[in-house]
Structure 1
């Protein structure tokens, strides 16, 4: 069974112009980021790739922990994308996910170990991670604590 996602885009001019995209619940302005010589209006492909990878990872991890019966109190994530610029060629080099998992106070040491394993496994289970694997280095640096 296939799922189709449609994105519509409008662009106002040349390289340093701006545009808009709309896909389902996503509607935003787009341009090249200031760091890359653009106007920095709205979001950009680099942030969107990082956002896709991070949200996919986070949702995958949450589902895995729920299925695993882990007593999760709180789950948050910080992700970092690194883009290299060499000879005016932009290359997305790596994405690192840093999940912060807080388990309920009654969680045991086995729960902590299970959460750490799932934090690693979620990376290879995420559809976006699988799509970019081999082109972008992916890593996970989880932190698990008890409330």
Structure 2
């Protein structure tokens, strides 16, 4: 069974103009970032690719930990995307996910190890990661700890 996602877009002019996109709940202005010589209005393809990869990873990891019965107290994520600019050619080089998993105080050493394995496994289970694999280097750097309270 296939699921279709539709995005509608408008663009007002040349390279350094701005536009708008709408896809389901996503409605935002778009342009090229100022750092890349654009208008810097709204979001841009680089942020959206990072956002897609990060949210897919985060949701996948949360679902895997829930199915694994891990005593998760809090889950946060910081992700970093690196874009190389050489000879005015922009190439998305890498995405590093840095999940911070805080387990409940009664978590065992086995739970900590399980959380670490799932943090690594979630990358390969996420559909966005699978879509960009081979083109963008993907890495995961989890921090896992038990809550003190």
Normalising by structure 2, we get a TM-score of 0.98
Shift of 1:34: 0.4
Partner of 2:55: 55
Q: Superposed, which structure 2 residues align to 1:74-93 within 5 Å? A: 74-93=74-93
Point out where structure 2 has 5 or more consecutive residues left out of the alignment.
none
Partner of 1:35: 35
Does residue 114 of structure 1 match 2:114? Answer: yes
2:14 match: secondary structure = coil
Determine the C-alpha separation between the residues in 1 that align with 2:135 and 2:27: 27
Shift of 1:40: 0.3
Q: Deviations over 1:5-58 (max 9, x none)?
A: 000000111111000000000000000000100010000000000000000000
Determine the C-alpha separation between the residues in 2 that align with 1:11 and 1:52: 22
Point out where structure 1 has 5 or more consecutive residues left out of the alignment.
none
Normalising by structure 1, we get a TM-score of 1.00
Q: Deviations over 1:84-117 (max 9, x none)?
A: 0001110000000000000000000000000000
RMSD (Å) for aligned C-alpha atoms: 0.3
